[in-house]
Amino acid sequence: MFVVGLTGGIGSGKTTVSQRFEHHGIVVVDADTIAREVVAPGSEGLKKITAHFGPQILLANGSLDRQALRKIIFSNESERRWLESLTHPLIRTEIEARIQAAPGPYTILSAPLLLESGHYNVNRVLIVDLPVVEQITRASARDNADRRMIEKIIASQLPRTERLKHADDIVDNAGSLEQTLYQVDALHLRYLQLADITLNDL
C-alpha cells in the first residue's frame, strides 16, 4: 500500500486538505480521531490515564476532560512523555490495521506528530504549510482557545523550518481556498501515478 503522511502545525489546514483527498475517494486514516478512540469512556487507555492523573481529569459524563489534560501535559514535560508512552503504541497499532484494510490506490495518514514521533512508515511526506502568526490566529478562532495555549502547542511541535526540511510535497495554505484545493487536486494525480509505479515494482 502506498501511504502519504500528511502533517502540519496546529491550525495549518490539515482537515481541509484531508477532506479534499476524501472528495477524490481516497481513504484518510486520521491519527487524531484514533487518539480520541483509544481514550474513549470504557477504554483501557482512559482507565490508566484516570489512575495516573486522578478523577479530576474526567468530565461529569465520564469522558476525558481534554482541556484539563492539555494544560497538564503542555506545562509538564515528564507528564507529556508518560501520556505519549501510553497512547502512542495503542494509536500506532490501530493506524497500521486501518492502513492495511484501506481500499483504493493509496492512503493518506493524517498525523500532527508524524515527524516528531518518527514511528510511521510512509512513502511520501506532505506538509500543509502556513506562517506561524496565521497558525495562531486560525487555531485560536477554531478551537476558541487561549492564545498562550496555542503558542505552547506550537512550541511542542517541530519548528516550521525544520518541518519543511522533511517535506516531499508542500501545500501552501496561505492563499485562497481555491488555491489550496487546486494544489491538492494536482497532488492527487501525482500520487495515483506514484502508487501505480510502486504497485508495478512489487
Whether domain 2-201 has CATH 3.20.20.70: the reply is: no
Band (pLDDT 50/70/90 cuts) for residue 74 is confident
Which contacts (CB < 8 Å, 24+ apart) does range 15-18 have? 16/173, 16/177, 16/180, 17/126, 17/128, 17/171, 17/173, 17/180, 17/184, 18/108, 18/110
Q: According to the annotation, is 93 in a ligand binding site?
A: no
- Give the least confident one: 12-26, 87-101, 112-126: 112-126
Let me know: does 173 contact 13? Beta carbons within 8 Å: yes
Q: Is 14 annotated as a binding residue?
A: yes
pLDDT, mean of residues 96-108: 96
Phi and psi, residue 11, nearest 5°: 75, 10
pLDDT at 202 over 60: no
11 labelled binding-site residue = yes
* 134-175 pLDDT, tens digit each: 888 888 777 666 788 888 888 878 888 999 999 999 999 999
Res 200: pLDDT: 67
Residue labelled with grid coordinates 495518514 = 109
Separation between Cα atoms, residue 48 and residue 126, nearest integer Å: 34
- The rounded percent of the chain whose pLDDT value lies above 90 is 67
Segment 91-106 mean pLDDT? 94
16 in a known ligand binding site: yes
| 165 annotated ligand-binding residue | no
Is pLDDT of 119 > 70? no
Q: Judge contact between 126 and 6, C-beta under 8 A.
A: yes
